[in-house]
């Protein structure tokens, strides 16, 4: 192994995830209920090899919801520590994917998702895991101000 290969192999590994902040005209956030977790989340997922976070967000929205939306500004970034079976920390990018009518035809990805809905900030905080609860008000504030938010790092353990 070369010195460069050894050096790169020795560095900390970090995963990247991307999510979509989508709202209805009343400002309620769209969340999805994965069938492999107890909690709800934003439409989105891990960034695949060869794509950047915005591309991952666009791909995941199409895969999970069956709709194509423009991926706008980066609203929120948050560092989430390693937990459970995930041995590496994750950087989560939340993008503005706009406002859609609440009755927009959505085709859920049946292999991964059981449900979706639009929720107020208070409702979303009850459905999201504790480490993600601050993302909804932060995203709303970032959208309103035009300034991205970096949320404090959290441990998901």
Provide DSSP, 69-117.
-----EEEEEEE--BTTB-S-EEEEEEEEEE--TT------TTTEEEEE
Best CA proximity match to 148, nearest among 86, 74, 78, 85:
74
Residue 73 CA to residue 146 CA, distance in Å, equals 8
pLDDT at 82 over 70: yes
- CATH (domain of 144): 3.90.79.10
Total number of domains constituting the chain: 1
Stretch 76-98: mean pLDDT:
92
Percent of the chain whose pLDDT exceeds 90: 82
Residue 57 CA to residue 99 CA, distance in Å, equals 15
Q: Is residue 40 part of a domain?
A: yes
Q: Is residue 8 part of a domain?
A: no
Q: Provide the pLDDT for residue 1.
A: 57
Q: Is residue 7 part of a domain?
A: no
| pTM to 2 decimal places | 0.93
Confidence of residue 44 (pLDDT cuts 50, 70, 90): very high
Q: Is residue 6 part of a domain?
A: no
Q: Is residue 56 part of a domain?
A: yes
Q: Provide the pLDDT for residue 62.
A: 98
Q: pLDDT averaged over the chain?
A: 94
Q: Is residue 2 part of a domain?
A: no
- Write out pLDDT tens, residues 96-145: 999 999 999 999 999 999 999 999 999 999 999 988 999 999 999 999 99
Domain of 21 in residue numbering reads as 13-150
């Amino acid at each position: 192994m070369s010195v460069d290969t050894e050096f790169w192999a020795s560095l900390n590994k970090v995963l990247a995830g991307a999510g979509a902040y989508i709202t209805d005209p009343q400002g309620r956030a769209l969340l999805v209920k994965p069938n492999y977790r107890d909690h709800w989340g934003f439409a989105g997922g891990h960034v695949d090899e060869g794509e950047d976070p915005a591309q991952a967000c666009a791909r995941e929205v199409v895969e999970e919801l069956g709709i194509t939306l423009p991926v706008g500004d980066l609203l929120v970034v948050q560092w989430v520590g390693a937990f459970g079976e995930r041995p590496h920390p994750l950087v989560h990018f939340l993008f503005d994917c706009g406002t859609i009518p609440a009755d927009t035809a959505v085709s859920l990805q049946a292999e991964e998702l059981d449900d979706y809905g639009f929720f107020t900030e208070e409702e979303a905080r009850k459905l999201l895991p504790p480490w993600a609860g601050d993302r909804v008000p932060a995203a709303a504030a970032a959208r309103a101000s035009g300034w991205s938010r970096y949320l404090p790092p959290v441990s998901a353990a």
